[in-house]
Amino acid sequence: METYFGQLLLVFIGATISIILTLGAAFFMDYHKRQDDRRLSAMMVMSNIEKFSRNLEEIADYLGSNDSVATWLLNKPIEELELLPERGVGQLGDASLRLAVSYLRQICGKYFFQQP
């Protein structure tokens, strides 16, 4: 009988240890998987913020260049502005200049480009 209880106790201890090891290993692997997922999520968020920042800088540069062209055009005399599309563009890009001239004509053309 004593050997029976001794063997039963050993089986019970062995089963308990295997359960503890199995659950401990599962918890350990799950914990590290969650840590990796958190790191990956943080890296993705930082990457998205960086992409958004670069996109915002590109938009600001584009709007700044268009604003510079419009300011340059507004400082020119009316006679020169009337000749710009036929005359050429000099330092400025043709597309930016034509875009700015068309914007100016749409916005204030009836007041700004009329002959006195």
**What angle is formed at CA 87 by the lines to CA 85 and CA 88, rounded to 5 degrees?**
80
What does the domain layout of the chain look like in residue ranges?
2-112
10 Å CB burial of residue 69 (0-12, 13-18, 19+) is: buried
**Of 36, 37, 13, 17, nearest to 25 (Cα)?**
17
Query: Which tens digits make up the pLDDT trace of 14-63?
Result: 999 999 999 999 999 999 999 999 999 999 999 999 999 999 998 888 77
Q: What is the pTM of this model?
A: 0.46
C-alpha dist (Å) from residue 32 to 22, 41, 75, 105: 16, 14, 64, 63
Query: Which tens digits make up the pLDDT trace of 70-100?
Result: 677 777 776 676 666 544 445 445 565 666 6
